[in-house]
Amino acid sequence: MTPESSAELIRQALMTTFWLSLPLLAVGFVAGIVISLLQIVTSIQDPGFGTVPRLAAFLGAMLLFLPMILRVLMTYTTKLLGDFTPYAR
């Protein structure tokens, strides 16, 4: 395995990780902004008021995006482990 092919393998793994985590991070970001705005408007400073809805948003996003995440992971793993000839050189 050449250094270029190992660098490409690592790049593909990192890009796959990025694209899999992006929807969950976006939902967490939007939920955090909305909850923070609600806390500012209502002057509620209770930490539970911010934590519970964010966790619920992450859970909902995980349930919503789980089929897509599993499909991408299965495709990536099948492509990676399906043919070892590029890695044996």
Q: Identify the pLDDT of residue 89.
A: 66
Per-residue pLDDT of 28-55, as tens digits, reads: 999 999 998 988 898 888 877 888 889 9
Q: Identify the pLDDT of residue 43.
A: 86
- Whole-angstrom Cα distance, residue 23 to residue 11? 20
- Say what the pTM is: 0.76
* Residue 81 banded pLDDT, cuts 50, 70, 90: confident
Per-residue pLDDT of 48-71, as tens digits, reads: 788 888 999 999 999 999 999 999
**Is residue 87 over pLDDT 80?**
no
**Is residue 6 over pLDDT 90?**
no
Q: Are 57 and 28 in contact (CB under 8 A)?
A: yes
- Whole-angstrom Cα distance, residue 45 to residue 79? 49
